[in-house]
Amino acid sequence: MDCVFCDLIAADSAQWVAKDEAAVAFSPLPGSEIAPGHTLVVPRRHCDLGVLDVGPDDLIATTELVRRVARAMPDALGATGVCVLNASGPDSGRSIDHLHFHVVPRYPGDGDDTLPWPTGRSTHQLTGDPRTLLAAELSKE
């Protein structure tokens, strides 16, 4: 099996926002962020079809981390909204065959181009590194 997310987890080489026992959160590749603070949340255990083949315990752990990351974004980043995006299954448009959720902070002026998938990029500028800000907020829990 060749999975970029499994490789990142095994090598401990992602830009981590949070690491839990069954799920992790990290920054996407530089230049692919939809907005400052865009975060990927994935289960540690591989599942090819996303929500279609994930076990219930892994889905609970992953969505709980999605919730925690999303709830940290207003205080840590000044976001006024959050989009949680997922594509599961072969014909969904997914880019990686491993369950993952995009947690995307939204800011005033970002527009309505966020559903079903954002086509634009946020022009919002943060003071500080989004990953560091989110990680610090999540460590308060």
List pLDDT tens digits, range 29-68.
888 888 999 999 999 999 999 999 999 999 999 999 999 9
**Coil, helix or strand for 85?**
strand
pLDDT surpassing 60 at residue 115: no
Between the two ends of the chain, the Cα-to-Cα distance in Å is 35
pTM: predicted TM-score of the whole model, two decimal places: 0.85
| Cβ neighbours, 10 Å, residue 99 | 26
Range in 27-36, 66-75, 77-86 with the lowest mean pLDDT? 27-36
Tell me which range, 16-30, 85-99, 118-132, is most confidently predicted by mean pLDDT. Answer: 16-30
Q: What are phi and psi of 85, to 5 degrees?
A: -120, 140
Copy the structure tokens of residue 66. Answer: 């999605």
CATH class of segment(s) 4-139 = alpha beta
Contact 10, 3 (CB under 8 A): no
Question: Does residue 2 register a pLDDT over 80?
Answer: yes
